[in-house]
Amino acid sequence: MTVALRQRAVDWGPPLAVFALGILAWQFLVVAFDVQEFLLPKPTEIAQTLWDERSSLWHAGIYTFKEALGGFALGSSMAILVALVFAAFRSLGTAFMPFAVAANAVPIIAFAPIMNNWFGLLNPFSKMAIAAVLCFFPVLITMLRGLTSVDPRAIELMRSYAAGQGSTFRRVRIPASLPHLFAGLKIASVLSMIGAIVGEYFGGPTTALGVTILNASAYTNFSLAWAGIVLASAFGILFYGAVALAERLTTSWDPSRRAFHAE
Amino acid sequence: MTDRLAVSIKGVSKHFKAGVTALSGIDLDVRPREFVSLIGPSGCGKSTLLRIIGDLINPSEGVVEVNGKPAPQARRDHDYGIVFQEAVLYDWRTVAKNIALPLELLRWSRERRTRCVNEMLRLVDLEGFEDHHPWQLSGGMQQRVAIARALSFDPALLLMDEPFGALDEMTRERLNMELLRIWEASGSTIVFVTHSIPEAVFLSTRVVVMSPRPGQIADIVEIDLPYPRTADTREEPRFFELVTGVRERLAGRGAQVEPELAEDVP
């Protein structure tokens, strides 16, 4: 147990030290070179604003996170369903996948103003829709790869047990796809926060985090804008961490994870 | 019906799309409780023949019957178990659940599955490892799980495609003996693909020597060493005679021992 704790300290020590040094350097450089606040506020000022405005910022953060979460859930579940259909009916997959891959290369965020028009500026669903579309393609592509790149002999074994397609999916293809799926979900968790906030930059209720950041910088309240950015980052990192934790809990059996951690 | 053949192969050929003939005019009968090895150089179609017996691929011509039934029917009836060169365990399942997978598909009850899994773990000497995941086992242990999984539903026929080919020599010889013990205990028929001459001679009742381009049966060697075979069997003069005999037939009837083929022993 103590060995595990010590190992954890060894793993976490260096990044934490880099983080602390980075913040210190930031503070020092801003003071030393007398950087104007509109260019870059001091970390202590941002922290002060975060504390002073904690109530309104927190509510804005929760509002925007709910949009991101809703979009993530919607986009990812649709992507998982479509991936299952494409894997089950290969000809469908071959016909549609080139378009999915092409769509993944499109800057989908450019559609944000259109979504605002479709569903209404103040309707949170307009931001969920952007986040959902952003999440859809990476999850579809990774999940489909996971479902179809199973060891062919694992499928032959199921055939030798006279297992049907449904059983082969449930017992082999779906569990084997989980590590791939989580790679997609981790990308999607980050994209969903970006989608929600950038969607709000094109208009939304004043209770939203993106609108708070936009208005604060328009009214030269830069420390509030930066406080909003810090909060958005915190939500993004926590969301990513939650998905990574779910991955650890469900795919601890994955040998490729072991190999990576053993290094 | 008692002398029904375990495997009956009549006039089987296999052509692949690229115009390659993998197998040509194969006739082979395997009696119940036999241990038959298919041996030959790479490209002689021995793995293809095993896959045809197991109805994993269809022959271009000819008929395969397993236990008197067409191969597809035998597959649907769970008449055989398969072991590949790699264990191909399901990484997300524990050892016990890997062994139980075919039993779940047969809709056995939970108690019956547990009883069978425990029996299999004892058979392959892996008691205490039931809750381990595949990544926690050595290559030899993984292969024993694969054998237990193939035997769990008591199939009449075991098809093995170079099951010990990826293992070191010492593990391989130990698993050879374990396999013979399991074979004698379970009363199943085994068709075994290998490229190791001593392994084929040590295990088999008959060794089928195949030649490539196109894959054909060159000869069949009866192995008259008595069972049970032990580590001492490998020291007997008769063992060496049979190894030499198989090697000569691999090189072409009556030919001298070729060094390349002698090197084939890993």
- Gap from B81 CA to chain A (nearest CA, Å): 7
User: Do B193 and B162 belong together in one domain?
Assistant: yes
**Domain end (from B129, B154, B179):** B154
Which pairs with CB-CB distance under 8 Å and at least 24 residues apart come from A80-84?
A80/A139, A80/A143, A80/A181, A82/A140, A83/A139, A83/A140, A83/A143, A83/A144, A83/A147, A84/A143, A84/A147, A84/A169, A84/A174
The CA distance from A98 to A166, in Å, is: 26
User: Do B167 and B74 belong together in one domain?
Assistant: yes
- Gap from B132 CA to chain A (nearest CA, Å): 10
Instruction: Please report the pLDDT score of residue A117 as a whole number.
Output: 87
Whether B91 sits inside 8 A of A171 (CB atoms) is: no
Instruction: Please report the pLDDT score of residue B3 as a whole number.
Output: 60
Assess if residue B264 is contained within a domain: no
User: Do B70 and B176 belong together in one domain?
Assistant: yes
Which CATH number does the domain housing residue B34 bear? 3.40.50.300
Assess if residue B257 is contained within a domain: no
At the topology level, CATH places domain A57-262 in MetI-like fold (1.10.3720)
User: What residues of chain B lie within 8 A of the CB of A254, using their CB?
Assistant: 91-92
Over residues A200-241, the pLDDT tens digits come to 999 888 889 999 999 998 888 888 999 999 999 999 999 999
**Residues contacting residue B86 through CB under 8 Å, at least 6 positions apart:** A153, B166
Q: Between β-strands B21-30 and B7-15, what pairing exists: parallel, antiparallel or unpaired?
A: antiparallel
Mean pLDDT over A155-181 rounds to 93
Q: Is B81 on the interface with A (CB under 8 A)?
A: yes
Mean pLDDT of chain A: 89
Over residues B174-224, the pLDDT tens digits come to 889 988 988 988 888 999 999 899 999 999 999 999 988 888 898 999 999
Q: Is the pLDDT at A64 greater than 60, yes or no? A: yes
User: Do B197 and B172 belong together in one domain?
Assistant: yes
How many separate domains does chain B show? 2
Which of B54, B80, B101 comes nearest A171 by C-beta?
B101
Q: How confident is the model at residue B132 (pLDDT cuts 50, 70, 90)?
A: very high
Assess if residue B266 is contained within a domain: no
User: Do B118 and B237 belong together in one domain?
Assistant: no
Instruction: Please report the pLDDT score of residue B158 as a whole number.
Output: 93
Over residues A105-155, the pLDDT tens digits come to 888 888 888 888 899 888 889 999 999 999 999 999 999 999 999 999 999
Q: Closest by alpha carbon to A196, among A63, A106, A56?
A: A63
The CA distance from B219 to B23, in Å, is: 15
Handedness of CA B128, B131, B134, B137 (dihedral sign): negative
Task: Considering only CA atoms, give the Rg of chain A.
Answer: 22
Q: Is the pLDDT at A78 greater than 50, yes or no? A: yes
Which of A151, A163, A253 comes nearest B88 by C-beta?
A151
User: Do B161 and B138 belong together in one domain?
Assistant: no
Whether B91 sits inside 8 A of A253 (CB atoms) is: yes
Against a cut of 0.90, is the pTM above it?
no
Q: How confident is the model at residue B1 (pLDDT cuts 50, 70, 90)?
A: very low
Residue A151: closest C-alpha in chain B? B88
Q: How confident is the model at residue A259 (pLDDT cuts 50, 70, 90)?
A: low
Helix (H, G, I), strand (E, B) or coil at B61: strand
Assess if residue B263 is contained within a domain: no
- Counting runs of H as helices and runs of E as strands, what totals does chain B give? 9, 10
**Domain end (from B97, B119, B154):** B154
**Domain end (from B116, B137, B154):** B154
Q: In the structure encoding, which two tokens stand for residue B185, read together? A: 């205990």
User: Do B75 and B165 belong together in one domain?
Assistant: yes
User: What residues of chain B lie within 8 A of the CB of A153, using their CB?
Assistant: 84, 86, 88
Assess if residue B4 is contained within a domain: yes
Q: Is the pLDDT at B162 greater than 80, yes or no? A: yes
User: Do B148 and B175 belong together in one domain?
Assistant: no
Instruction: Please report the pLDDT score of residue B266 as a whole number.
Output: 40
**Residues contacting residue B203 through CB under 8 Å, at least 6 positions apart:** B35, B37, B176, B179, B180, B192, B229
User: Do B29 and B149 belong together in one domain?
Assistant: no
Which of B86, B91, B102 comes nearest A255 by C-beta?
B91
Q: In the structure encoding, which two tokens stand for residue A227, read together? A: 């406080």
Any idea where the domains of chain A sit in the sequence? Answer: 57-262
Mutation target among B51, B135, B191 for the A interface, most CBs of A within 10 A = B135
User: Do B177 and B72 belong together in one domain?
Assistant: yes
User: Do B164 and B126 belong together in one domain?
Assistant: no
User: Do B162 and B62 belong together in one domain?
Assistant: yes
Query: What is the residue range of B147's domain?
Result: 89-154
Q: Between β-strands B216-222 and B69-70, what pairing exists: parallel, antiparallel or unpaired?
A: unpaired
Instruction: Please report the pLDDT score of residue A263 as a whole number.
Output: 37
Percentage of chain A modeled with pLDDT above 70: 97
The CA distance from A192 to A199, in Å, is: 10
Q: In the structure encoding, which two tokens stand for residue A53, read together? A: 């405005």
Handedness of CA B16, A87, A153, B100 (dihedral sign): negative
Assess if residue B192 is contained within a domain: yes
